[in-house]
């Protein structure tokens, strides 16, 4: 289909799925430092999780991915990584 994106990967992103998500979930996905897909959020909503639970899951995934990227790029001495360990 022309003008449509097709998601690939572990948590794909498609505009149709994203547009169908509730506004708070879309806001979380849009404001994270890392690219989050739309599939996990949609599947969690379909499984009966509340919007608040889905937002919390997406924030946690974003924090974990950001931490992993910072750890890979800068090592364990970066302040963000130290804060995550409570140092």
Please write the tens of the pLDDT for every residue from 6-62: 555 667 788 888 999 999 999 999 998 888 889 999 999 999 999 999 999 999 999
Contacts of 3 (CB under 8 A, 6+ apart): none
Assign 2 a pLDDT band (cuts: 50, 70, 90): very low
Rounded to whole angstroms, how far apart are CA atoms 87 and 80? 10
Rounded to whole angstroms, how far apart are CA atoms 30 and 49? 20
Quote the pTM value. Answer: 0.78
Contacts of 15 (CB under 8 A, 6+ apart): 4, 5
Rounded to whole angstroms, how far apart are CA atoms 46 and 73? 36
- Residue indicated by tokens 């003008």: 3
Record the tokens describing residue 52, joined without a space: 């608040």
């Amino acid at each position: 289909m022309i003008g449509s994106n097709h998601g690939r990967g572990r948590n794909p992103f498609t505009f149709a799925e994203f547009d169908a998500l509730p506004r708070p979930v879309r806001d979380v996905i849009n404001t994270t430092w890392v690219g989050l897909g739309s599939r996990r959020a949609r599947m969690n909503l379909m499984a009966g999780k509340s919007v608040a639970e889905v937002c919390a899951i997406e924030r946690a995934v974003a924090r974990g991915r950001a931490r992993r990227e910072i750890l890979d790029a800068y090592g364990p001495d970066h302040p963000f990584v130290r804060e995550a360990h409570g140092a």
